């Protein structure tokens, strides 16, 4: 594995391959402080491009995506350890430029604008964050010239915006989302986890527990709806008489009452997750909720009453001085 720190070195990086076909190149973009989640991205990239392909990891703490009161100065910088993790995971090269290499004229005057989606959830809490993120991603895509780019689903809104940018601006790259990697107790891996004290880490587990509670509520009500459909006799069916004799008509009616509330499933999912977060808000130290949202992954607008299809249940909160985010994908079936 080789370390590159200039755009010229990156431009000169040869693509190996077999015969006349150049190797496919994959990029994994990071801000350093690599952990098992990043290593999973690199391993996934290596598996996709194959042994003849090329995997480039970028390590750059992008100042454009940090706000005035955020942790740019204290963000962990662990390049030596990052290089070991990247190499063990299968990277061929690490591009770790200085800020003046990425922005040679200082802060760029022309930037990518994230649009309406960029002002929701994370964008509402961190104004300008997604503009800065998309600007550096666009620059790194131009510099690395990959065929595939791998990003973690833990940053679901970031992933959605990158996909939108690639589509809207015709970047010749395939964006691949990789599932969130969690520790054994459910906490999503993050470079910021190292800031948590033992007590704070225990409170932080409420984020994943809340998401799983929402997921379980959805599964439970979907099971009741399926039971209702199995028990319900067609109108005028003679089986209705048999059900009544067996005392099952009440069970069928109860299940149908749950099924009829299927259109309110988004509200039920939010309520189950919020209950866990509210309890964590009474701990010492308390969990301070930023947002809990159930959104359409296409544009990150709220999933309303009767929503069907794929959704993302997302949460952001602070524990002590550390702000954490997490999310899980959910699937809402069609309601009769």
Residues designated as active site:
38
The DSSP bridge pattern shows strands 54-59 and 174-178 to be unpaired
| CA–CA separation, 245 and 233 (whole Å) | 14
Q: In the 8-state DSSP scheme, what is residue 128?
A: T
User: DSSP state, 195?
Assistant: G
Q: Where are the alpha helices (DSSP H) in 103-238?
A: 122-125, 129-144, 156-168, 198-231
Q: Is 114 helix (H, G, I), strand (E, B) or coil?
A: coil
Compute CA 23 distance to the chain's CA centroid, rounded to the nearest angstrom. 29
Of 16, 108, 9, nearest to 65 (Cα)?
108
Q: What residues form DSSP beta bridges with 148?
A: 26, 174
Closest CA to 269 of 305, 301, 297, 224: 305
What is the CB neighbour count within 10 angstroms for residue 138?
17
Run of H or E including 287: strand 287-295
d(CA 220, CA 55): 42
Q: Which of 42, 132, 122 is nearest to 90 (CA)?
A: 42
| Number of C-beta neighbours around residue 185 at 10 A | 11
């Amino acid at each position: 594995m080789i370390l590159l720190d200039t755009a010229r070195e990156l431009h000169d990086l040869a693509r190996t391959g077999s015969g006349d076909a150049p190797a496919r190149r994959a990029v994994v973009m990071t801000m350093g402080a690599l952990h098992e989640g990043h290593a999973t991205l690199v391993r996934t990239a290596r598996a996709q491009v194959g042994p003849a392909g090329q995997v480039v990891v970028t390590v750059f703490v992008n100042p454009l995506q940090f706000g005035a009161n955020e942790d740019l100065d204290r963000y962990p910088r662990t390049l030596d350890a990052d290089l070991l993790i990247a190499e063990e995971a299968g990277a061929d090269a690490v591009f770790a430029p200085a800020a003046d290499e990425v922005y040679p004229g200082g802060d760029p005057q022309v930037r990518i604008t994230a649009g309406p989606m960029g002002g929701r959830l994370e964008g509402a809490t961190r104004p300008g964050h997604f503009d800065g993120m998309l600007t550096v991603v666009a620059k790194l895509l131009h510099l690395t010239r990959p065929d595939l780019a791998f990003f973690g689903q833990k940053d679901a809104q970031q992933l959605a915006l990158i996909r939108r940018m690639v589509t809207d601006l015709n970047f010749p790259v395939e964006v691949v989302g990789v599932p969130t990697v969690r520790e054994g107790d459910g906490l999503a891996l993050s470079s910021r986890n190292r800031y948590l004290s033992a007590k704070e880490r225990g409170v932080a587990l409420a984020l994943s527990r809340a998401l799983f509670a929402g997921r379980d509520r959805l599964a439970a009500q979907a099971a009741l709806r399926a039971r209702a459909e199995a028990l319900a006799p067609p109108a005028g069916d003679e089986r209705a008489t048999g059900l009544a004799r067996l005392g099952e008509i009440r069970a069928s009616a109860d299940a149908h009452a749950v099924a009829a509330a299927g259109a309110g499933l988004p509200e039920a999912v939010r309520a189950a997750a919020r209950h866990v977060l509210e309890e964590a808000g009474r701990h010492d130290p308390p969990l301070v909720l930023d947002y809990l949202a159930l959104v359409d992954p296409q544009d990150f607008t709220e999933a309303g009453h009767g929503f069907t299809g794929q959704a993302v249940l997302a949460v952001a909160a602070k524990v002590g001085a550390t702000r954490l985010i997490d999310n899980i994908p959910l699937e809402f079936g069609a309601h009769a």
